[in-house]
Structure 1
C-alpha cells in the first residue's frame, strides 16, 4: 500500500540530501526498470498502474492508481511504473580506452545525455568533479535512458585524481588544435568543462593536449556548442578513427 508517509518520502527523492538520507533513488518506466536486475543496482519496491506488465523475479509490483503515480513521479507525463532503488557504493574500475572526465557539468540533461553517449560508444567509466550534477537526479536518470545502469560513474577531486593519472589528458578548448586532424591515443582521458566557464584553470594546467571543434558556418551568433552536443561530435570522430 502506498501510504501518505511513503508518498512524502518518495517525493523528497528529487533532492540529493534526501536521496542520501534514505539511500534511495527512483527509476521510471517499465523499459528501464526491466533492465535493472542485470545491473549492479537493487530494486527495493515497484509501484505500477498495471503490475501484470512488470514481472521481475520474485519481486511483485504494488498496484497504484494513476493519481498516485502522478504524486510520486517526477515526469510531467508519468509512465507506467516507478521503481525505488538503493544507491550503490562508488568504486573506481580499471580504466580502458577512452575515459570521460566531467569538470563542473551542472545541467542534469547534459549529464544524462553524456552518460547515454558513453554507453553508446562503449565507454565504461565517467569521472565527475565533486560539483558536477548528481547522476541520481531524476532528470539525469531520465535523460540517460537506462545508460546509467551500464556506465560506472564516480565523483572525485579531479585535480588530485588527474595529477596521479598516467594517461594523456585531453581537454576541449576554443584555442585547441583542430580535433579532426588530431591523432588520438589508444587510451586517454577526455575532459569536458562547465557549460558556461569551460575547464577550470587548475584542471587546464594538467592537460597534455587541447582540442577544439572548428566552426564551418559563417554566422557569429552561435558562440559555442552545448557540452553534450560537443561530446557527441568528438566521440564520433574518436571512434571513427578506430
Structure 2
C-alpha cells in the first residue's frame, strides 16, 4: 500500500516542473517498461499488480519493485485504463551535440512542436528509420511528458532527445539544413546527399521566422488534394522514408 504522500509524489511527475525537480519521469505498460529495463536508462522503481507480475522480465535487485493493487495503480497512473505496471525512470543528461555527431547522417530538428502525441510518434518513427537523435527547440513539448512516452511505444528507450537553441544550431550548422515548407522544391526531386538537418515546424505556424533564414533548402511534400496541411508526425515519416529510399537503405 502506498501512502497519500507517496501517491502524490508520483502523480506530480505528470507535470514538467516536478519531473525537472525530481529528475524522474513515468513509464507505463509492460512493453514500454520492459524496453526501458533493457536500455541504458536508469529505472529507479517499479510498481506492478499481481496480474502483471508474470509478464514482466526479471527485475534487477538494484531496482526497488513494489506490488500494488489495481485501485492504487489507478490513482498513480496517467492512463484511463492502467496497464498493470508503472516505472519511475531517471531523466538522462546527454552531452551537447558535437560536430562529429551532427555529421553522421541525418537528424530531425523540431521547431516548437507542442503536441506530446506528435512528438512521441516522431520519436518512434525516427527510430524505425535508424535515426539516433531528435533535436528539439527549447519551446517544444517535453519528451518525458507521459503522453509522449506512451506514444513513443518504447522507442524513447533507445533514442537521444536533445533540447537546444535551434536558431544557433541551424545558423552554424556544418551540414545542409532542409526545411519542410509549403512552397519549396519537391521532396521527390531533392538530392539530400548523405547528411543534413531536417527541420519540421510548429503544428499551427510551421517553421518560425528566426529559423527560416538559415534553411539551406526549402522542401515541400507535394499536395495533390485539397487538405490545408499535413500532420507534423506524418511529415516526419515521409521525410524519413524518402531519405532512406534515396540512400539505398531499403
Which structure 1 residue ranges, 4+ long, deviate > 3 Å from structure 2?
none
RMSD: 1.2
Structure 1 residue 2, shift from structure 2 partner = 1.8
Write out aligned runs for 1:111-190 (5 A): 111-190=119-198
Q: State which of 224, 233, 242 in structure 1 corresponds to 2:229.
A: 224
Structure 2 contact 44–64 (Cα < 8 Å) conserved:
no
Q: Structure 2: which 5+ runs fail to align?
A: none
Question: When the two structures are superposed, what TM-score results if normalisation uses the length of structure 1?
Answer: 0.95
1:57 aligned onto 2:65: no
Structure 1 contact 34–56 (Cα < 8 Å) conserved:
no
- Residues in 2 aligned to 1:88 and 1:225: alpha-carbon distance in whole angstroms: 32
SS at match of 2:211: helix
Structure 1 residue 43, shift from structure 2 partner = 1.2
- The C-alpha deviation readout for 1:122-180, integer Å capped at 9, x for no partner, is 00111100000000000000000011111111100111122221000000111100111
SS at match of 1:13: helix
- Residues in 1 aligned to 2:239 and 2:35: alpha-carbon distance in whole angstroms: 28
- Residues in 1 aligned to 2:187 and 2:36: alpha-carbon distance in whole angstroms: 37
1:66 aligned onto 2:74: no
Structure 2 contact 27–88 (Cα < 8 Å) conserved:
yes
Q: Structure 1: which 5+ runs fail to align?
A: none
1:198 aligned onto 2:206: yes
Structure 1 contact 12–18 (Cα < 8 Å) conserved:
yes
- Residues in 2 aligned to 1:3 and 1:98: alpha-carbon distance in whole angstroms: 47
- Residues in 2 aligned to 1:87 and 1:2: alpha-carbon distance in whole angstroms: 23
The answer to which of 52-61 and 89-98 deviates more is: 52-61
Structure 1 residue 90, shift from structure 2 partner = 2.7
Question: When the two structures are superposed, what TM-score results if normalisation uses the length of structure 2?
Answer: 0.92
